[in-house]
Structure 1
Amino acid sequence: MDYRNESSDTLRNKCAACYRQFNKKEHLVEHMRTSYHSVHEPMCGVCKKHCRSFESLREHLIGPLPKAECERIFKERGCDICLSILGNRTSLRAHRESCLSRPNNNGLLYRMANLGIQDELRIDNSRGRVVALACKMVGGGSDGSLDLCARVCLIDEHERILFHSYIKPNIPVTNYRYEMTGIRPEYLRDAMPLKNVSRKIQEFLCNGEPIWQIRSKGGRSRILVGHGLDHDLKCLEMDYPAIKMRDTAKYPPLMKTSKLSNSLKYLTRAYLGYDIQSGVQDPYEDCVATMKLYMRMKLSQFHKKENYPLATDPQNKNNFASWRQNELERMTPDQLLDISRSDYYCWCLDSQDY
């Protein structure tokens, strides 16, 4: 057997994104068909390897078994927050100062002041197109394990409070979870009913646009940012289209694995550089953290602009069609990567028109 030729064939069948090698070209094509590699994946600043998430990239750089050369360069001039590689240590120091976020103390001030209702929700475009939402739950049911929304906060992209209110649940509260929520029975006694709160928030998010007409691009509706939005909206008993939600718990680059989310506390510590949710938790603090994460994912990633960036776009449905198998096997790994598209919506696209 000619091992030299086998090695050469394997090298030709090396994925241009994750550098995985295959014995046969057809295996590489199948890998590209199912992996959805794209320019939107987190990428090593040294070897240019694509990673599915920032957690994978972190392991590649400083994990238990990092790539030696990448680890060496990252330790010299890599930012441990955004995982980017700078030109020199002087640039790294300047970059890290701008990369390190600072917690906003407004939430603490509002909590200490025992803020009741603050309502600046208006159906107009002057309040920004992106808002973050966070809720705090108390317990209902016989054992207090049923989540009931008792406090909600909504902020704009400048971290200004648009709406804050305690909420009177529809069923009796059996566990106020005071150590975590700081909520007392008297806070909810004369609070706004859940139905009224849900209606106000939904009207503000839709911004005068019927919910069934909301589309991913254009229109008047607002982008909703949060962590675990499906759960929050369920507890608020309201609906909102998934195409307008940006959930830090479900965004693939921020997830631990493809099916396991990171906590907001961890994401804030790892990617913003400060701590939250120590002691009594404040929904404003959570709103700020999710908004900062969203803005960082949206603005700090400079990806090549593509006319049709998603694998689900109709224009891309035949990129890896089975009837093109022979043609695909004649392509180079770089050409295969060029036609590969992402299977998730990258938040950098919110700042692009495509």
Structure 2
Amino acid sequence: MDYRSIESSDSSRNKCAACYRQFNRKEHLVDHMRTSFHSVHEPMCGVCKKRCRSFESLREHLIGPLPKVECAKIFSTRGCNICLTILDSPYTLRMHRGACQLPRPNGLISSMASMKIYDNMKIDNGRERTTPSVVALACKMVGGGNDGTLDICARVCLTDEHDNIMFQTYVKPHIPVTNYRFETTGVRPENIRDAMPLKQVQRKIQDFLCNGEPVWKIRSRGGKARILVGHGLDHDLDCLGMEYPALMIRDTAKYPPLMKTSKLSNSLKYLTHTYLGFEIQTGIQDPYEDCVSTMKLYMRMRSQNHKLEHYPLASDPQNRNNFAQWREAELEKMSPDDLLVVSRSDYYCWCLDLKGYA
């Protein structure tokens, strides 16, 4: 009897089919699958097919301090360091990089200095849509309070999927400004002295996002409201004094595949450089650039080609018993591949926006 083959078979039987983590007992593998939420939506190595929780962990797997040797070797000749895709040949890689590395958007700092407001927001009220269904929002804050650390919205910008400006304006603060933070905001006292009042800005943006639909009635599919994209949107909306349903928000600071391996947020500057290939926020920061960056990140994440599943979330009623305790004996008889088939994601993958999932 070949004990090595038996040992190898037992080892494979308790090996996670997604992250390749090895367990001593099958029950431990089942417990792992119960809490890991592996799914087709996780970033995957194009060489060994290992699934990672985030693109940062995939990046470490391929080009980190201690990468997987076989994968790193192939990635060094045929891997795109922006989207982490493995291409067929070095020639294909060169062609791919030209499209993968996006150009830096044209900043509008000089034009905004002389432009008080630009408003192209239209409400279609459910008629044939000629206005965007997805918009990006970014704000720039000046300082208030005795020490100037209280964030006050002074500039706001909204763009569509094609980098067109839907709305931009300086905002007249509702409390005195004690620190204009000119080095990063570019805001001077004369810019906001006669600017649009915060309440008016708030009302215009809220009406545009809701698109004629009451906030309490907004739903993710079949409604008229728009998807809102941004980075750190909780903070921006709070400074604008606005609320918007979480199901319509796509925040690049909170999206699990774009977060650090420690589950903390990456900066927009880092994400743009690493996953789009251009630099932003190199001097005075333009909210237009932030809008363009977050929208392109969103569209890159949304365009991922993942397997279609009718019930892709672990929270869907059809999946709630997939790893139930009363199924323990049945689950322990399943192969690692079968366990992966019934496993589902615990976050909403943005690719589902294109598939009409709600």
TM-score under structure 1 length normalisation = 0.97
Q: What's the offset of the Cα at 1:353?
A: 2.4
Matched, 1:139 2:143: yes
Please show how residues 113-124 of structure 1 align to structure 2 within 5 Å: 113-124=113-124
Is the 2:136–2:295 contact (alpha carbons within 8 Å) kept by the matching residues of 1? yes
Matched, 1:45 2:31: no
Q: What's the offset of the Cα at 1:275?
A: 0.4
| Residue number in structure 1 paired with 2:111 | 110
| Residue number in structure 2 paired with 1:77 | 78
| Residue number in structure 1 paired with 2:348 | 345
| 1:174 alignment partner AA | T
Matched, 1:59 2:63: no
Q: What's the offset of the Cα at 1:109?
A: 5.1
* Residue from 139, 147, 155 that aligns with 1:151: 155
Q: What's the offset of the Cα at 1:106?
A: 4.6
Q: What's the offset of the Cα at 1:169?
A: 1.2
| Residue number in structure 2 paired with 1:17 | 18
| Residue number in structure 1 paired with 2:263 | 259
Matched, 1:289 2:288: no
Q: What's the offset of the Cα at 1:122?
A: 1.1
| Residue number in structure 1 paired with 2:131 | 127
Matched, 1:172 2:173: no
Sequence identity (%): 71
Give the unaligned 5+ runs of structure 2.
none
* Residue from 221, 226, 241 that aligns with 2:225: 221
Give the unaligned 5+ runs of structure 1.
none
Question: Which deviates further from its counterpart, 226-235 or 113-122?
Answer: 113-122
| Residue number in structure 2 paired with 1:90 | 91
RMSD: 1.2
* Residue from 285, 303, 307 that aligns with 1:304: 307
Is the 2:107–2:286 contact (alpha carbons within 8 Å) kept by the matching residues of 1? no
Is the 1:224–1:244 contact (alpha carbons within 8 Å) kept by the matching residues of 2? yes
Paired residues in the alignment total 351
State the Cα deviation string for residues 133-184 of structure 1 (Å, max 9, x = none).
0000000000000000111000011110000011111111100001110000
Counterparts of 1:95 and 1:279, CA distance in 2:
30
Counterparts of 2:49 and 2:269, CA distance in 1:
29
Q: 1:109 to 1:92 in 2, by over 3 A?
A: farther
| 1:138 alignment partner AA | V
* Residue from 174, 183, 197 that aligns with 1:193: 197
> Aligned with 1:50: secondary structure?
coil
Counterparts of 2:182 and 2:109, CA distance in 1:
16
| Residue number in structure 1 paired with 2:27 | 26
Matched, 1:280 2:284: yes
Q: What's the offset of the Cα at 1:115?
A: 2.1
| 1:123 alignment partner AA | I
Is the 1:10–1:24 contact (alpha carbons within 8 Å) kept by the matching residues of 2? no
> Aligned with 2:130: secondary structure?
helix
Counterparts of 1:15 and 1:308, CA distance in 2:
22
> Aligned with 1:225: secondary structure?
strand
Matched, 1:183 2:187: yes
Counterparts of 1:38 and 1:71, CA distance in 2:
24
State the Cα deviation string for residues 189-217 of structure 1 (Å, max 9, x = none).
11111111011101100001111111122
Q: What's the offset of the Cα at 1:3?
A: 7.3
Is the 1:144–1:174 contact (alpha carbons within 8 Å) kept by the matching residues of 2? yes
Counterparts of 1:192 and 1:30, CA distance in 2:
56
Q: What's the offset of the Cα at 1:309?
A: 0.5
Counterparts of 2:265 and 2:195, CA distance in 1:
33
TM-score under structure 2 length normalisation = 0.96
Is the 2:313–2:346 contact (alpha carbons within 8 Å) kept by the matching residues of 1? yes
Q: What's the offset of the Cα at 1:114?
A: 2.8
Q: What's the offset of the Cα at 1:126?
A: 1.5
